[in-house]
């Protein structure tokens, strides 16, 4: 019985670094994915300016759809343990995301709503509404930067 307990404890001690490494790897993977999604959103925003100038409402709608999809999924990419104090991976995410979670998720929802409004305006091929919706979308992106990004 004592041998089983010793083997079990030894296994747990030997496996814990492996488990910790897998957890760190998973956390780093989530961080890499969210950083990639933010970069893609930034690129979509920059590209939409050209689409607006060209009057390419279909491309504007597709970009707005991609941004709305990211905004809806965004909170899932900020699980506990992926903040700046938790991982060795560089992250611009500020600890206040987790401290003020309800505010963060509300702003992500505002970003979703703004992207959907842009999509509708593009679907209606309404240039004025597209410009207004694009400005509002930019504001909702920026609303998170100040309180939640280092």
Task: Give tens-digit pLDDT for 70-92.
Answer: 999 999 999 998 988 887 778 89
- Count up the domains in the chain and report the number: 1
Percent above pLDDT 90 for the chain: 71
pLDDT of 55 above 80: yes
CATH code of 115's domain: 1.20.120.10
* In the block, residue with structure tokens 């305006």: 121
Under the banding of pLDDT at 50, 70 and 90, the label for residue 16 is very low
Question: pTM for this one?
Answer: 0.81
User: What is the domain extent for residue 11?
Assistant: 2-148
């Amino acid at each position: 019985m004592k041998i089983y307990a010793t083997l079990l404890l030894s296994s747990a001690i030997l496996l814990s670094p492996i488990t910790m490494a897998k957890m760190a790897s998973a956390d780093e993977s989530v961080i890499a994915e969210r950083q990639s999604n933010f970069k893609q959103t930034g690129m979509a925003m920059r590209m939409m300016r050209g689409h607006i100038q060209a009057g390419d409402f279909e491309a504007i709608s597709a970009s707005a759809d991609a941004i709305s999809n990211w905004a809806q999924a965004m909170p899932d990419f900020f699980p506990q343990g992926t903040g700046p104090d938790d991982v060795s991976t560089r992250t611009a995410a500020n600890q206040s995301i987790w401290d003020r979670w309800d505010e963060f998720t509300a702003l992500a929802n505002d970003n979703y709503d703004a992207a959907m409004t842009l999509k509708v305006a593009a679907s209606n091929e309404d240039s004025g509404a597209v410009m207004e919706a694009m400005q509002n979308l930019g504001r909702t992106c920026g609303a998170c930067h100040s309180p939640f990004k280092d």
